[in-house]
Amino acid sequence: MSFPFKPNTEPPKDMTVFKNLVKVASDSDKFRRVLWTGRNSQLVIMTIPVGGEIGEEIHTVDQHLTFHSGSADAIVNDKTERVGPGDIVIVPAGAKHNVSIIKLIFYQWSYPYLYTSVQFTNKGQTPLILSTVYAPAEHKADTVHSSLEEGERLEDEGKDEPPKWAQDLHQKDIGK
């Protein structure tokens, strides 16, 4: 059975509605799948298998991760916060981070050069299913990665870049 949603590959001109995003994300068996790309943001769903991870990375964009299944402990400067379905973690641009079914660790430099470490330890035995918003877009508009390794390879080869129209922020030509 094919996935029921096809991503837009041109700048959107109208609203897009995804009914029951939790079900949409749960129905994808792919590591990473772009659902929608706009000029200033991008919606991606991910399924992180048991024992898997997103991989350590640093984005030049902000990232908001919404957890749909699975659970983790968020540890920030010795303060622990449980995160699970319905929770959101916001990672600012420039933060080194990693999501792992075992643990999620990211480090961030924040002004005035305060070093902050953040760690997430998964407490479940099921895959992490999440949706994430990148602002601006981080991936090619029709990206589907079956695994972390495939995603990293395509990124390293320069084959997973956001479209030019999604890199030009705050365009004034809306409605043309």
Residue 172's contacts (CB-CB under 8 Å, 6 or more residues apart) are none
Q: What is the pTM of this model?
A: 0.78
**3-class DSSP state for residue 171?**
coil
Q: Give me the residue label for tokens 């068996």.
A: 29
- pLDDT band at residue 132 using 50, 70 and 90 as cut-offs: confident
Going along the chain from its start, the domains and CATH numbers come out as 21-167 (2.60.120.10)
Q: Residue 107 and residue 115: Cα distance in Å, rounded?
A: 7
Per DSSP, the chain holds a count of helices (H) and strands (E) of 3, 12
**What's the average model confidence in pLDDT over 11-40?**
93
Three-state SS sequence of 119-154: EEEECCCCCEEEEEEEECCCCCCCCEECCHHHHHHH
The answer to whether 98 and 59 have CB atoms below 8 angstroms apart is: no
Give residue-wise pLDDT tens across range 55-82: 666 668 888 888 898 876 654 445 566 7
Nearest residue to 160 via CA among 136, 134, 135, 142: 142
